[in-house]
Every structure is written in C-alpha cells, then in structure tokens.
Amino acid sequence: MIALGIVVVIALLFIFFIALRRRSPATLRRIPAFDRLNREIGLAVENGTRLHISLGRGNFFTARGGSALAGLALVRRIAERTSVSDRPPVVTSGDAAITILSQDTSQSGYRAAGAEEQFRVTAGRMTGLSPFAYAAGTIPISRDDNVSANIIIGDLGPEAGLVVEGADRQDSTLIGASDNLTAQSIFYAASQEPLIGEELFASGAYAGAGSSHEASLNAQDVLRWILIIAMLGGSFVKLIGLAF
Amino acid sequence: MRVITATFAIAAGLLVLLGYFIDADVVRTIGSIITDWAIIIGAFAALIGIINLIFVHMEKFRARQPGGMYSVILVLALILTTGFGLLLGPENPFMRLAIDAIIVPVESALMAILVITLIYASIRLLRRRVDLMSVIFLVIAISVLILIMPTPIGQLPGSQQLLDFVNTFSRGGARGLLLGIALGTLLTGLRVLFGIDRPYGGN
C-alpha cells in the first residue's frame, strides 16, 4: 500500500504541475543537444534530407519500454514539424509492437499538420529482432536514405557502437540518449552533443510537445530533490549511529 | 473511435498497475489475463513487423536503390528459412545448422568489429570534444583497462585498491543515472496512463 501511495502522490504532483504549466509555460535550461536537434529538423526540411530516429530494442514487456515511449513522443513532434518535407523521417526499432506504434505516431503527426497524404507506412521500420541484427539493419539507413541527422533515443546495448560508427562514416549528425548505461557511455564518446541520463525524457518538452511534458520535467525535478534529501538524511542518520 | 481506444488502453493499464499494489485475486487475475492478451498480440505484431521488413526491402529493390541486391538476398533467405522452419521444425539438424553456421558466426564477427569500433571512438573523442569531462572520461577508461589487463606477473600491484577507488565513483554515478531514468520512466508511464500521450490510436 505504501508503494501505491507513492505512485498516487507522484500522480497528484504531476497533475498539479500540468495545471501550473498551462497557466505559465516553463523556462527550460539550455541543453546543446536539443538546440542542435531543433536546428537539424529545420535544416532537414530546407535541404531535402531525411532524419533517422532510432527507438532502440526496448519493448513494453520490460521496464525498458519507457525510453521508447519518450522516443515516440519525439517522433510525433518531428513528424508534425517535417510534414512539409518531401523526405519524411525514418523511424527504426527492434521491436515489432514499437514499430507499429511508431507508424501510428508518425501518421498522427502528419494528420495534425494536415498532411496525412504524405505519410508512408515504410517510414516506420523494424530492422532486426536481435541486438546485432538490429544494428546491421539500421546501419544502411544512414548511408542509403540521404540521412542528415540520426536521433537515437531508446534502449540499446553495446551494438549502439556499430550504429554510431555507421552514422559517423556518413558525416551525419548524431544525437544519442539511452536508458542503458553501456549505450550511454558509447554515445558520450561518439556523439557531438551527448544527452546524459534522464535528459532522454526531456526530449518531448524541448521539441515543444506541450505543457504535460514540461510538467513531467518539473515533477521529476521535485522528486529528484526529495530523493537527494532522503539519501543525505539516511547517510546522516547512519553516520550518527541511529538505527530503525 | 479514438476515445474508445484511449478508454480501453487506460483501463487496461490501470488494472495491470493495480495488480502490482493491491493484494486481491480478482485484480491480479484480470491483470494476468490482460498481460496474456498483450503477449499474444505481441506475437502477431512480430509477424506484421516481418511483413513490414519484406515490404521495405522489396521497395528498395524495386526503386533500384543502392544495395538493392542485398535486399533481395535478405528476403529470399527469410522466405527459405521460414519455409524450411515450418516444414522441418526448429529442432531439425538443418535448421540448427542455419543458426550455428550463419547467425552465430555473423553475430560474433559483429561483436569483434564492435571492439575495434569502440576503441576508435574513444581515440576520436578528444578530436570531437575537448573539455574537462571528456579528458576525465578518457583517462578513467584507459586507467581501468590497464588495471584489469592480465600481465605475466599477474595483477599489477595496488591495482585492486585503485579499481575499488574508481568503482566507488562509477557506482555512485551509475546509481544516480539509473534513479533519474527510473523517475523519467515513471512520469512517462503516467503520461500514457492519463491518456496525455497516446502512441496507440494517435492524439
């Protein structure tokens, strides 16, 4: 019941921030990777190039599905913003359910922009079900589809190194974020502007997905401070020798 | 239609979530049934994903895109493997051979390439971004590699103490990152549960 109580409190906190953000939009701190992302979206439309969004291999039967959901929110915004382009973004993933959702999300973006006829079902692709099959299927997209920027947001393992190398060989921009620590360190070493940890979940807010995404960030900030205080308090209590 | 989809999705999500917190057989049974349905639908989704893969590669061949021949090989291999798999069963020696002689060696080769790729990426890190954090990252990575390296005299003297010292920071950092990711996942889940983000059926 304590766990349920915590979830309910977090939900209430989230609702409070949604109400607050609807009245006054949040001021977001500058994150260079998202500046670059917004610039790349504009450039792709102007230059007639394509964006490649990789949602990784996470699925909804594991705790790793959250990062794919965050990626889908970004897909929705990017599809909407690039709907005027004659080269729609390509979304790849290593899970069939997420592929279907990425197609549906892209279509929603086009519909919202009033350009549903531009949507192609092949814009959402499942490239492979095992880690290396996924990498092997994703690498050629950077080369063959006139991709100017690769946005990798999701659950990947060491195979992220191969995907990153493929993007680098084409001199295309790479923006990478993962909930997996191995992939995180690869992106840190190989991308121009790395995203660290929970910044992955801020992608929607920075892409202009609305007040609910900003409210999520506010709630995360508050919860993070509560955790920090709890951990420091716990350490202090242990230090002075109190036991519960 | 979209309202109905959202209602079903939110109700299913809430029931499964409550199953984790409330110790009631009814809620748990319903949650379990919904999860079973999701697994069955997931299996059909895999079939749709494979059909999507065939369409993408046939389109690549039809449009005479670069590497179109590889797409034909992929589709043919897929059809042959599926056909033989259905006829002979997955435990047939021929099917085992397809896995042991093709898939396992190819994935092992990719793993070997990955090692070189990662070393190369580390070397280029300072060319890409010269800042304090990049230097620390590279110094620590190289130090750890040296400390765990096997030598003719065994482990280098004092290496275990140094590794323990470095691991204190890396463990702390990793836990911090994972806590942040857990909070992000929780809030993303709540957005879907509230129907604010609707990747199913669009919004």
Helix (H) or strand (E) holding A148: strand A147-155
> In this complex, which of B103, B129, B190 lies closest to A11 when CB atoms are compared?
B190
Q: Tell me B194's DSSP state.
A: T
> In this complex, which of B52, B65, B188 lies closest to A70 when CB atoms are compared?
B188
**Rounded mean pLDDT, B174-193:** 91
The chain-wide mean pLDDT, for chain B, equals: 86
The pLDDT of residue A194: 83
Residues of chain A with pLDDT under 50: none
User: Chain A: nearest CA to B83, how far in angstroms?
Assistant: 19
pTM, whole model, 2 decimals? 0.88
Query: Chain centroid to CA A82: how far?
Result: 17
The pLDDT of residue A244: 61
Q: Tell me A30's DSSP state.
A: P
Q: Which B-chain residues 60-99 have CB contacts (< 8 A) with chain A?
A: 60, 65-67, 70
The pLDDT of residue A34: 92
The architecture (CATH level 2) of A28-209 comes to 3-Layer(aba) Sandwich (3.40)
More confident residue, B87 or A63: B87
Show contacts of B12-16: CB within 8 Å, 24+ apart.
B13/B192, B13/B193, B14/B193
Q: Are B124 and B118 in contact (CB under 8 A)?
A: no
Q: How far apart are CA B117 and CA A163, in angstroms?
A: 10
Residues in chain B closer than 8 A to A60 (CB atoms) = 38, 42
Longest dimension (CA), chain A: 68
Whether A59 and B52 lie within 8 Å, measured CB to CB? no
B179 pLDDT more than 80 = yes
**Rounded mean pLDDT, B97-108:** 85
Whether B117 and A162 lie within 8 Å, measured CB to CB? yes
User: Chain A: nearest CA to B155, how far in angstroms?
Assistant: 25
- CA torsion angle for A62, A67, A70, A72 (degrees, to 10)? -70
B203 pLDDT more than 60 = no
| The pair of three-digit structure tokens given for residue A157, joined into one six-digit string | 């393992």
A148: closest CA among A172, A174, A176, A123?
A: A172
The pLDDT of residue A221: 92
A8 burial (CB, 10 Å; 0-12 / 13-18 / 19+) is: exposed
Residue carrying the six token digits 């947001």: A153
Among chain A residues, CA nearest to B110: A132
B22-68: per-residue pLDDT in tens?
Answer: 888 888 899 899 999 999 998 899 999 999 999 989 988 898 888 88
Whether B118 and A144 lie within 8 Å, measured CB to CB? no
A116-171: per-residue pLDDT in tens?
Answer: 888 888 889 999 888 888 998 999 888 888 899 999 998 998 888 889 888 888 88
Residues in chain B closer than 8 A to A220 (CB atoms) = 180, 183-184, 187
Helix (H) or strand (E) holding A129: none
Q: Which of B56, B71, B81 to mutate to test the interface with A (most CBs of A within 10 A)?
A: B56
Residues 6 or more apart whose CB falls under 8 angstroms from that of A91 comprise: A52, A53, A54, A55, A75, A99, A102, A103, A106, A123, A124, A125
Q: How far apart are CA A22 and CA A30, in angstroms?
A: 21
A48: closest CA among A80, A77, A89, A76?
A: A89
ipTM: 0.89
The pLDDT of residue A243: 66
Separation in Å, CA A44 to CA A38, A113, A152, A167, A204: 10, 17, 16, 16, 19
The pLDDT of residue B97: 86
Query: Chain centroid to CA B173: how far?
Result: 22
Among chain B residues, CA nearest to A65: B185
Helices B159-193/A65-81 angle, 10° precision: 60
